[in-house]
Amino acid sequence: MTAFRRVESPRRIEDAIYSEIIEAGDGWMRDLEAGEVLRIVDLEGNQAVDTLFFDADRPEDHYSAVATVAGQGNVYLTAGSVLRAESGKELLRIVADTCGRHDTLGGSCSAQSNTVRYAHEKLSMHNCRDTFMLQLARRGGPYAKRDLAPNVNFFMNVPVTPEGGLEFADGVSHPGAYVELQAACRTTVLISNCPQLNNPCNAYNPTPVRVLIWSE
């Protein structure tokens, strides 16, 4: 079940066609054309980047953790993993990864989960689900709350216990670690750079990440 596969990228930052910093707690949404490569960089290490993907031409066909896990026979994402939509269609493939392992079971934090896991007083805390909803509202079009499926948590460490439960543990990332994904089709990327302060996924100190895009 455990998978660590680290692969360096041949791409140079100066050749990227797009670069942006996403501050801790902020969101980002953009379309990738088929063949384009997205790099997400964990600038300071131990940051969780909650991410969803959609077929840009059929937004109802969103990322599926179930199809992805079943297709590769592994609950973790790493270099070589194919990220699949509900239809089974390939959306993206991880082509480089210097972290080595990413979660796709833990889901995103929300106001409700913060109160259940931690305390009722956490209800008003900033959370990834609200960030996702804000980005979808800004985008407009066909996207709605129903499109928020179980997501990928890049750089996040969520071990599966022998009993089949999940634990939120210290990250396995490091400053400058990155993951690169190449789009197999026109793919919409939705990111919430997690603001979580209640568990170790962000070392209790959420930090910025960087996104870059190459045209290939």
Query: Can you give the pLDDT at residue 157?
Result: 81
Kindly provide the b/e burial profile for residues 63-97, where b requires at least 16 CB atoms within 10 angstroms of the residue's own CB: bbbebbbeebebbbbbbebebbbeeeebbbbbbbb
Q: How many CA atoms lie within 13 A of 173 on its CB side?
A: 32
With a cut of 70, say whether residue 112 has pLDDT above it. Answer: no
The confidence band for 116, taking pLDDT boundaries of 50, 70 and 90, is: very low
Write down the mean pLDDT value for the chain.
87
Q: Is residue 132 part of a domain?
A: yes
Handedness of CA 181, 78, 63, 20 (dihedral sign): negative
Structure tokens belonging to residue 209: 């990440």
Q: Is residue 156 part of a domain?
A: yes
Q: Is residue 3 part of a domain?
A: no
Query: Can you give the pLDDT at residue 166?
Result: 61
Who's near 95: CB < 8 A, 6+ residues apart? 7, 9, 37, 79, 180, 181, 182
Domains in the chain, number: 1
Query: Can you give the pLDDT at residue 124?
Result: 47
Q: Is residue 7 part of a domain?
A: no
Q: Is residue 9 part of a domain?
A: no
Structure tokens belonging to residue 52: 């969803």
Per the rule left: phi > 0, alpha: psi between -120 and 50, beta: everything else, 15 is: alpha
Q: Is residue 1 part of a domain?
A: no
Structure tokens belonging to residue 20: 């942006």
Place of tokens 């969103």: 62
Task: Supply the range of the domain harboring residue 32.
Answer: 23-206
Q: Is residue 166 part of a domain?
A: yes
> What global pTM score does this model have?
0.90
